[in-house]
Amino acid sequence: MLSAESLKRIDREIAKFPAEQKQSAVIAALAIAQDEKGWLATETMDFVAQYLGMAPIAVYEVASFYNMYDLAPVGRHKLTVCTNLPCALSGGVDAAEHLKQCLGVGFNETTADGRVTLKQGECMGACGDAPVLLVNNKRMCGSMSNDKLDKLLAELK
Amino acid sequence: MLDYGPDAILMKGLDGSNWRLKDYEARGGYDALKKILRENIAPEAVIAEVKKSGLRGRGGAGFPAGLKWSFMPKQYAGAKYLVCNTDEGEPGTFKDRDIIRYNPHMLIEGMLIGAYATGAGVGYNYIHGEIWAEYELFERALDEAHAAGYLGKNILGTDFSFELHAFHGYGAYVCGEETGLLESVEGKKGQPRFKPPFPASYGLYGKPTTINNTETFAAVPWIINHGGDAFLALGRPNNGGTKIFSVSGHVNRPGNYEVRLGTPFAKLLEMAGGMRGGKRIKAVIPGGSSAPVIPGEIMMQTDLDFDCVAKAGSMLGSGAVIVMDETTCMVRALERLSYFYFEESCGQCTPCREGTGWMYRVVHRIEHGKGRQEDLDLLSNVADNIAGRTICALGDAAAGPVKSFVKHFREEFQYHIDHKRCMVNVPGGYFTVSNPSAGRAA
Ligand SMILES: Cc1cc2nc3c(=O)[nH]c(=O)nc-3n(C[C@H](O)[C@H](O)[C@H](O)COP(=O)(O)O)c2cc1C
Ligand code: FES
């Protein structure tokens, strides 16, 4: 169900915990599965459950609790913009508005061509670099002026 | 060079790329650990030194670190754990990220000393989900420390062993709460546990566990190298050392500044370049969004240590200083914070789950010109019925801003209710209605 490469990454996580505590690797395993599949379908979560010896419901609980998992398909790129207060005081909300305009979508929506999903995020622990946004959960971009936002959008195919 | 200010001791001599083991060693890194192992200093003596230093937890609650370490059972047959909290999600806080990306070995050494002092054999550093690059960098630092014999079995040829792993979160503010964090490491939803029992007796996998914030651990090598007295002398009695303050909001140079505890807020503001555009300071949240807001003029008279900020009516918290100028609409500011707590409540306690949503909806309607006369009393009432009635402090964290915003800026809330629009009318200002006639009013 998951590639050998993903399984290798999951095994590396499992090795961090006591042998009888494989479940501790579930947060990482779901993140790795999402990296490969783009989002977490029920079959993917079931596979993770089986791989870690967990009840499927326990895996669904985790997947629905943490904000960075996607339980429905998203665009090829997911942009999560922080609009929490410290960022908002330095342009976080403006950045989000600019993206909404350029993309023609609101929060939790995907462009019609399936290119970009826009999300509203909470504090990413990078408020000094506001406005900040996260590309595909991994790449943090700071000081996002409208110019830089335009460049970023041009780069995302 | 990265400049954290002239008083910096933890974040001194860093340039953004000299985070590697060899650089850290060149700065005197791992000397504290070597000294302890070479001189065979007893764990109790290490704890005594940390107690003497007046080091208080940097994660929010300000609990004395040495005292916390002394709660770990000494005669205990099974595994004991040491956990670092780098889940930094308290809005306004961005200091721990700098520690792990610019000086990761300082944290590793601090955790090694913590493990030695508490008898923990395995440790985890729980890193905030949104900072992936920093997580990867920290893993590389762990590999370096392993290869050099600072981590693993028989460290530096002694019988002291400690294994340390990085754990990557995936987006949940409540996992910053220490027992929510432990649940998360166990592979569950991060719903906090009822305390007592405290982690020192029932922690990770039910084993004795010590958990501290990144900056708390990071201060420990300096304390061992220079002595607890020297650290204490940097700050004030009961408030030892320096502290990294994350300054955000309406200042010219947002960023991290490491200053001695007890430094006047006015001095920190000056380091951050003063108020953006020379505007008047209106309000400050001095310790992360969960700390009560304080009017600017009071803050300008306040020194930054745990006790002074408490006396001024707030908390030093995580040291996240959010500065708001005269263009800020306090109703809109509170609306955004209330949304955050509503969004992040883990849902297990009814007062918090229901109360945070209720408070958000009431502040939202006031902001949108639909406030009712009884709303301000209602807000206080809901806040009072959350605070102190939940398993973890997220409930208090959500109630604090509501109560303090309404208390200090009541006339602004009342104006919104009476006039169905914003009182703050500074053209072009942020968080304001720039054109009153086209205001956000309903
Ligand atoms: C809702 C909530 C969120 C918290 N978030 C953090 C956090 O992101 N980082 C942190 O170090 N402590 C956080 N804390 C405080 C921890 O529970 C705990 O007190 C701290 O990690 C202990 O370390 P210290 O004594 O070194 O400060 C949070 C507490 C609550 C109630
Ligand atoms: S508020 Fe946006 S990163 Fe902290």
Domain boundaries, chain A: 4-65, 77-155
pLDDT digits (tens, 9 = 90+) for A44-62: 999 999 999 999 999 999 9
Q: Of B209, B204, B302, B221, which Cα lies nearest the Cα of B261?
A: B302
Predicted TM-score (pTM) of this structure: 0.96
For B135-154, give one letter per residue: b (16+ CB within 10 A) or e: bebbbebbebbeebebbeee
| Shortest CA gap B77–chain A (Å) | 16
Q: Residue for token digits 């955790």?
A: B111
Question: Over 60: is that where the pLDDT of A30 sits?
Answer: yes
Pairing state between β B209-213 and B81-86: parallel
| CB-CB under 8 Å, B93 with A125 | yes
Q: Of B167, B178, B83, B94, which Cα lies nearest the Cα of A31?
A: B167
**What residues of chain B lie within 8 A of the CB of A22, using their CB?**
187
Dig out the tokens for B112 from the structure: 């090694």
Question: Over 70: is that where the pLDDT of B184 sits?
Answer: yes
Question: Over 90: is that where the pLDDT of B78 sits?
Answer: yes
Q: Residue for token digits 């947002």?
A: B254
Compute the distance from residue B21 Cα to the ligand 2 centre, in Å: 30
Question: Over 50: is that where the pLDDT of B442 sits?
Answer: no
Q: What percentage of chain B exceeds 90 in pLDDT?
A: 94
Whether residue B94 contacts residue A127, with contact meaning beta carbons closer than 8 Å, is answered with yes
- Name which of B185, B190, B431 is nearest A89 (Cβ-Cβ): B431
* Topology of the domain covering A77-155: Glutaredoxin (3.40.30)
Q: Residue for token digits 């602004």?
A: B412
The pLDDT assigned to B438 comes to 32
Query: Both ends of chain A: CA-CA distance in Å?
Result: 27
The pLDDT assigned to B427 comes to 54
The pLDDT assigned to B208 comes to 98
Taking CA–CA distances from A52, the nearest residue in chain B reads: B187
Whether residue A12 contacts residue A32, with contact meaning beta carbons closer than 8 Å, is answered with no
What would the mean pLDDT of B68-91 be, rounded to a whole number?
A: 96
Q: What percentage of chain B exceeds 70 in pLDDT?
A: 96
What's the pLDDT band for B432 if we cut at 50, 70, 90?
A: very low
Compute the distance from residue B26 Cα to the ligand 1 centre, in Å: 32
Question: Over 50: is that where the pLDDT of B407 sits?
Answer: yes
Taking CA–CA distances from B91, the nearest residue in chain A reads: A123
- Name which of A66, A129, A139 is nearest B172 (Cβ-Cβ): A66
What would the mean pLDDT of B361-382 be, rounded to a whole number?
A: 96
| Shortest CA gap A62–chain B (Å) | 5
CA distance A78 to A117: 5
The pLDDT assigned to B346 comes to 98
CATH number of A4-65: 1.10.10
In a mutational test of the B interface, the residue from A93, A127, A138 whose CB has the highest number of chain B CBs within 10 Å is A127
The pLDDT assigned to B441 comes to 31
Q: Of B333, B351, B330, B331, which Cα lies nearest the Cα of B394?
A: B351
- Name which of B94, B188, B250 is nearest A128 (Cβ-Cβ): B94
**What residues of chain A lie within 8 A of the CB of B431, using their CB?**
88-89
What's the pLDDT band for A27 if we cut at 50, 70, 90?
A: very high
Between the alpha carbon of residue B86 and those of residues A63, B42, B124, the distances in Å are: 21, 28, 10
What's the pLDDT band for B428 if we cut at 50, 70, 90?
A: very low
The pLDDT assigned to B44 comes to 98
Question: Over 90: is that where the pLDDT of B439 sits?
Answer: no
Number of Cβ within 10 Å of residue B127's Cβ equals 27
CA-based torsion, B123, B127, B132, B138: positive or negative: negative
The more confidently predicted of residues B96 and B435 is: B96
Question: Over 60: is that where the pLDDT of B362 sits?
Answer: yes
Ligand located closest to B94 CA: 2
CA distance A121 to B66: 36
**Which of B100, B124, B177, B182 maximizes ligand 1 atoms within 8 Å of its Cβ, making it the mutation to test the pocket?**
B177
Residue having the nearest C-alpha atom to atom 7 of ligand 1: B176
Label residue B75 exposed, middle or buried (CB < 10 Å: 0-12, 13-18, 19+): exposed
Question: Over 90: is that where the pLDDT of B332 sits?
Answer: yes
Question: Over 70: is that where the pLDDT of B411 sits?
Answer: yes
| Rg of chain A on CA atoms, in Å | 17
Residue B177: DSSP 8-state: S
Residue B251: DSSP 8-state: B
The pLDDT assigned to B424 comes to 82
| CB-CB under 8 Å, B130 with A134 | yes
Question: Over 50: is that where the pLDDT of B311 sits?
Answer: yes
The pLDDT assigned to B421 comes to 86
The pLDDT assigned to B429 comes to 46
What would the mean pLDDT of B301-329 be, rounded to a whole number?
A: 96
What would the mean pLDDT of B8-23 be, rounded to a whole number?
A: 98
The pLDDT assigned to B426 comes to 59
| CB-CB under 8 Å, B249 with A86 | yes
Compute the distance from residue B396 Cα to the ligand 1 centre, in Å: 13
The overall average pLDDT reported for chain A is 97
The pLDDT assigned to B422 comes to 86
pLDDT digits (tens, 9 = 90+) for B217-275: 999 999 999 999 999 999 999 999 999 999 999 999 999 999 999 999 999 999 999 99
Question: Over 70: is that where the pLDDT of B431 sits?
Answer: no
- Name which of B94, B254, B344 is nearest A125 (Cβ-Cβ): B94
